[in-house]
Chains A and B, each alone.
Chain A
């Protein structure tokens, strides 16, 4: 298996981008294969506005994509533009000294109000900026309005007790209050409960300054288990898509990134009439600000890309309102550009709430956690969902992976 994969990587690396300087078409490698039509739409627009078209090369398997990009860094055939992840993964990529510096694009973008200052730290390493935001998403709660009405809930909850009361009312009416899955996105409720309880512990955990076996983390797992025991979650083993579960009304609430809006629209639901969104209140009332997880996918260029000037030209164009308005509205998602207004009023409202003064953003667990620890954690959380009483064993398993990682990093 590995042998074949290695050979395939070598071959794909050899057969990479064969281009020369002064390009008129840029290949944009990405791990968002389902977004091909949106990339193409932007490509048509960029062709007419700056003379550079975009040919998206989308992958749907994250692991294959990452292996491909890593392999391409070791060959003379570099990709034009490519997407990546923030956090440790971006830091690892930048440490190769192959990623193009985008500090000037950032300073210009912030000056013009195209890029928010609060995103800059996630793209900054050693005082320099790298890549630009491909997208941004805030992790908020989507809820089925019919389910809420059937349970007698008129407005979304504003505090944790209210959320739990609503969940109990929904359960009493036969709905599964919250969506949950044991595959890939098994971390979602760990992330939410931890940032809503102790955001400092969340950040220290991501940097190896706290342990998964610390009492604060154990308490979060106990709360999560208690919620499972109360029957507040949908079946984590179901392979039915979350959008379908929401549409059928089987599941009343789904906690995901704002990109989930695209899935709901594609499933045939109407924003504001069929479903709404709200920022999840903190678990504890001590924190002065509400904690919201966010993610941002970087769009990167390599210093030795086939045509670095063309890449820079495209990235400068990419962040400006015209391009971002089309990009965000076509996907029915929010934009990293604060000047962009989304056609969807409910999405606009929740995005404003998530970026307001009363909110602190926390980098998504998936991006904030180093890959080997994340792999162990996703497995452990899925094990926990299959057997909630195993939470201590699962935390110890993650901590073993964390000890191993931080020993040499």
Chain B
């Protein structure tokens, strides 16, 4: 790709050359003026980003090394908050639940989304098939929590339906005990997220060139063989994006858990993001909450970067 592009750039440079050496022109000065103009245009946006993103982040970093209740002045405690975090007995269950969310929400909504896209791609009435899966995406995380909270509560709709169908689980208190509470919330999340993943995979399927598919078919490939050898590799760039987004979303799972169980009972369904909110805003320990936020941010960034880097390397290896 880069080789054919290089002469074009060179040619463009050559075409611009006469103008650059025109009588009276001062290239350095013009470039300097251009830079200032660019900075002028960029600065309002940069200022907004700095004010709303970098500044709060830096403030959170500073707070994470303090004891701060929001009323009196923050007191420097060095690494105490981090020591407390890593020795918290609830950390184990919080990390365990977060990992369940990571695995559950990168496998189920992504896998089902891909399946729905594949099943409905290229068939008449496919969009009608996908539509019901798309509708839950209109709900907010909080709305999802309220609805599924009522469905999954003790003696709720889930128990009633299972009882009517004589299936196991009719008397299970889904939200009262681990791991049922975390698993059932992952199911609720899957219900909401599958549709949008199906839509993204549809876009991916539509962008696959027809030639390799036709060539494979002529060579006798079809069904799962066609998918595994042709469709799946060609979908890889989009899969990277979908899985990457699911990964980030799962690591910061908060709203559905908070609304449905508030991380309980007894912190049994808490995720790292819920731990952060609980410590910062419920206990009013903003220093400690900031430390948890910092650990969560760094973990999310590290996991995402590691995933993306691995995907890029794999693709370079293939390419």
Show the binding face of A for B, using Cβ within 8 Å: 1-7, 10, 63-64, 66-67, 70-71, 73, 92-93, 95-96, 182-184, 235-240, 371-372, 375, 379-380, 382-387, 390, 394, 397, 400, 404, 408
Contacts and interface: CB of A to CB of B under 8 A. Distances in A.
Interface string B266-279: 11100001001110
B299 interface: no
Contacts of B60: 2-3, 6
A235 B56 CA distance: 43
Contacts of B284: 66, 70, 371-372
Contact of B71 (A64, A93, A239, A375): A93
8 contacts: A3-B293, A7-B52, A66-B284, A92-B71, A95-B72, A379-B264, A379-B265, A383-B265
Contact of A6 (B56, B72, B277): B56
Nearest to B280: A2
B19 to A, nearest CB: 46
Nearest to A385: B265
Given A1-B277, A386-B173, 13 more contacts: A1-B273, A1-B276, A4-B56, A7-B53, A7-B55, A63-B282, A67-B281, A96-B72, A182-B265, A235-B155, A237-B153, A386-B176, A386-B265
Contact of A372 (B52, B268, B285): B285
Specify the main secondary structure of chain A where it touches its partner. helix
Nearest to A70: B70
Contacts of A400: 89
Interface residues of B, number: 47
A371 B278 CA distance: 11
B154 interface: yes
A379 B282 CA distance: 11
A238 B153 CA distance: 6
A70 B72 CA distance: 10
| Nearest 7 A/B pairs, CB to CB | A383-B266, A70-B70, A237-B154, A2-B293, A386-B265, A382-B265, A63-B281
Given A371-B283, A382-B264, A73 B254 contact: no
Contacts of A4: 56
Contacts of A6: 56, 59-60
Nearest to A400: B89
A73 B71 contact: yes
A7 B56 contact: yes
Contacts of B276: 1-2
Given A95-B72, A386-B176, A397-B89, A375 B155 contact: no
Nearest to B268: A383
A384 B264 CA distance: 11
Given A2-B289, A6-B56, A372-B284, A237 B176 contact: yes
Contacts of B56: 3-4, 6-7, 10
A215 to B, nearest CB: 23
B70 A67 contact: yes
Contacts of A63: 277, 281-282
Contact of A380 (B266, B281, B285, B290): B266
Interface in B42-63: 52-53, 55-57, 59-60
B292 to A, nearest CB: 8
A3 B57 contact: yes
Contacts of B67: 408
A124 to B, nearest CB: 19
B177 interface: yes
B69 A92 contact: yes
Contacts of B265: 182, 237, 379, 382-383, 385-387
B71 A235 contact: no
A397 B278 CA distance: 16
Q: Which of A2, A5, A64, A183 has the most CB of B within 10 A?
A: A2
A368 to B, nearest CB: 16
B8 to A, nearest CB: 43
A5 B286 CA distance: 11
Contacts of B297: 3
Given A95-B71, A397-B89, A239 B150 contact: yes
B252 interface: yes
B175 interface: yes
Q: Which of B55, B266, B283 has the most CB of A within 10 A?
A: B266
A382 B71 contact: no
Contacts of A5: 280-281
B109 interface: no
A10 B84 CA distance: 27
A5 B156 CA distance: 34
Contacts of A73: 71
Q: Which of A10, A73, A93, A384 has the most CB of B within 10 A?
A: A10
Interface in B200-246: none
A52 to B, nearest CB: 28
A183 B153 contact: no
B127 interface: no
Nearest to A373: B283
B195 interface: no
Contacts of A66: 70, 281, 284
A372 B283 contact: yes
Contacts of B280: 2, 5
B149 interface: yes
